[in-house]
Amino acid sequence: MTDSNANMPDAKGYFGEYGGQIIPPQLIDIMNDINDAYDKVSQTAGFQDELQELNADYVGRPSPVYFAKRLSEKVGGARIFLKREDLNHTGAHKINHCIGEALLAKYMGKTKVIAETGAGQHGVALATACALVGIDCEIHMGEVDIAKEHPNVTKMKILGCKLVPVSRGTRTLKDAVDSAFEAYLEDPVNYIYAIGSVVGPHPFPKIVRDFQSIVGKEAREQFLAKENKLPDVLIACVGGGSNAIGLFTAFLDDAEVKMIGVEPAGKGLDTPDHAATLTLGTKGALHGFECYNIQDKEGNPLPVYSIASGLDYPGVGPQHCYLKDIKRVNYEAVDDKACLDAFIKLSRLEGIIPALESAHAVAHAMKIAKTMSKEETILVNLSGRGDKDADFVADYLSL
């Protein structure tokens, strides 16, 4: 696919008809300043060298591409490979963009990084990156989530970030976004907002995508070195879409490589308990940008659900919406049951306990591998490890 629009947003931040800046006029200048600073700073040798060194010596990059032999044999059909983002420091892909964002803040001379967190995964990754870079960090989190996500709350405190409990509204992610954004607007000159996925107003989807694209860049080289050809299919789970676009970006021009984004079908696409935004959503604006989203007839976001808390977002990154419309990427949905089955199978056949988010991608790989030949290959982005989910799954399955 040589359509350059598939890879770069236009000057107003649109991928096709998705993205943009659906924000109050006074914020547009602020966002455009961030965009200009990012375009300049990210091209300097100083920034690139520092980021590369931290990726290598701190995150532990490159993460391996691993052939899951026993899983592949058990399933039958195509061979399944895993890009091991679960082996990164802090255990997931989120550290890739958090270090980029913290470093960008430092180079831009900002004094504080502000963000929201839902289950706490973005909060922990960002607090880690800010400790590393040496910049103040303030995380807003709903009181309901604080009560539920004890280990992540504790980690954020240990890492030295300021945790702001949010007591308004439903006291969950949406209210945390509003609260964090208000705090940011108190001093947008000295503060910077650090978003947790390829979502939000332009330029955030582009910035986060760029920092995550190292995943696919490495994987493409590693796979060629191993197999002398490209994978036939790429698979990644999609919440906001950062780990998926991180893997896909380097392969967008390889027309022979199929790509599949996997959304959570939760308790079933025929129930309200899912977060299959691209599969069942409609176009609309959310959190400052245009995308497919799960909404009512008036355009208000509806509650969404997934067994994997990192996937229950009612919108999705604008580039994914565009890639769906031009049919460069297919989006499928996997339910809780198939996710749990993949979680256990990968654990018991390979000794790899995946994050429940990543287990959605593994489940879809297992489903289609059967229909493919032994000569074909699938590369799955294993976005994170499942330590955070182990107790929950053991209880849920009465292990």
Ligand X SMILES: *Cc1c(COP(=O)(O)O)cnc(C)c1O
Burial category of 308 from C-beta neighbours within 10 Å (exposed 0-12, middle 13-18, buried 19 and up)? buried
**Closer by beta carbon to ligand X, 273 or else 357:** 357
Dump strand ranges (E) for the chain. 14-15, 18-19, 65-67, 79-84, 112-117, 136-142, 162-166, 191-193, 233-237, 258-266, 282-286, 289-293, 330-335, 377-382
Q: 328 with 258: CB under 8 angstroms?
A: no
The residue among 30 and 236 lying less far from ligand X, judged by its C-beta, is 236
The catalytic position among 63, 197, 358, 383 is: 383
d(CA 200, CA 91): 24
Nearer to ligand X, 117 or 179 (CB): 117
Give the nearest distance from C-beta 339 to ligand X in angstroms.
12
| Rounded Cα gap, residues 174 and 160, in angstroms | 24
Least distance CB 235 / ligand X (angstroms) = 13
Residue whose CB is less far from ligand X, 197 or 377: 197
Residue least distant from ligand X (Cβ):
384
Q: Which two tokens stand for residue 348?
A: 């018991």
Shortest Å, Cβ 241 to ligand X: 5
The Cα–Cα gap between 158 and 155 comes to: 5
Catalytic residue among 94, 106, 110, 206: 94
Residues engaged in binding ligand X (CB under 6 A): 92, 94, 121, 197, 237-243, 310-311, 355, 357-358, 383-384
Q: How far is the CB of 189 from ligand X (least distance, A)?
A: 28
- As measured in angstroms, the least distance from the Cβ of 316 to ligand X is 8
**CB of 32 or CB of 330, closer to ligand X:** 330
Count of Cβ atoms closer than 10 Å to residue 193 Cβ = 24
Distance CA 356, CA 146 (A): 20
Task: Pick the catalytic residue from 116, 218, 332, 357.
Answer: 116
Q: At CA 114, angle to CA 212 and CA 116, rounded to 5? A: 75
Instruction: Decide if 138 contacts 244 (C-beta within 8 A).
Output: no
Instruction: In whole angstroms, give the CA distance from residue 48 to residue 171.
Output: 39
Question: Does 383 qualify as catalytic in the annotation?
Answer: yes
Query: Does the annotation count 94 as an active-site position?
Result: yes
Q: Residue 9 or residue 118: which is nearer to ligand X going by CB?
A: 118
> 390: exposed, middle or buried (C-beta count within 10 Å: 0-12, 13-18, 19+)?
middle
Q: Annotated catalytic, 116?
A: yes
Rounded to the nearest whole angstrom, what is the least distance from the CB of residue 86 to ligand X in the complex? Answer: 8
**Would you please indicate which residues are annotated as catalytic (active-site) residues?**
94, 116, 383
